[in-house]
Every structure is written in structure tokens, then in C-alpha cells.
């Protein structure tokens, strides 16, 4: 595992529930009612994986930048 993760939110799936912003407020904000990562590349962070795992529509993906391995949501 590398020291960097890539965080993405699929705007076609996001329903703007705000669970991610509540779970990881340093990493997600709601813009025009949809979740947006504050930064695409981050250092590993448990609140981000919690947010991805908690998203009701699985709109958030977290991948390791070294090998593109899916970190969250858990398969």
C-alpha cells in the first residue's frame, strides 16, 4: 500500500445525503447539494473509508494510488 489514496465521488450516483461530510468533514463538502472531495489525493485516513463505507448509494470510491486497489467501499 502506498502513502496516498485517490478519493472520488460519482456525481451521477450521489444523492447528497451528507453522510460523508458528517463522517469526514475535513475531506468532503456538499456543493450544490452533492458531495465533493476537498482533495482528490490524500494520505490514508480512516474517516474517509468510514464515509465511503457509509454512503447509502456507494458513490464514493477510495483507491490506492500505487496499484489502483479499491480500499473502500469494502466489496
Which pLDDT tens digits describe the chain residue by residue (75 residues)?
579 999 999 999 999 999 999 999 999 999 999 999 999 999 999 999 999 999 999 999 999 999 999 999 987
pTM of the model: 0.93
Residue 54 Ramachandran class (φ > 0 left, ψ -120 to 50 alpha, else beta): alpha
Q: Using CA atoms, how far apart are residues 60 and 26, in angstroms rounded to an integer?
A: 15
Question: Which among 9, 70, 74 is positioned nearest to 19, based on CA atoms?
Answer: 9
Give the residue extent of every domain in the chain.
5-72
CATH number given to 5-72? 3.30.70.20
Per DSSP, the three-state class of 1 is: coil
Amino acid at each position: 500500500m502506498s502513502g496516498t489514496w485517490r478519493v472520488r465521488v460519482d456525481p451521477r450516483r450521489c444523492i447528497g445525503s451528507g453522510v460523508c461530510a458528517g463522517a469526514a468533514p475535513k475531506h468532503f463538502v456538499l456543493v450544490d447539494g452533492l458531495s465533493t472531495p476537498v482533495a482528490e489525493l490524500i494520505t490514508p485516513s480512516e474517516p474517509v473509508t468510514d464515509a465511503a463505507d457509509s454512503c447509502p448509494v456507494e458513490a464514493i470510491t477510495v483507491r490506492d494510488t500505487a496499484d489502483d486497489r479499491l480500499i473502500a467501499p469494502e466489496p
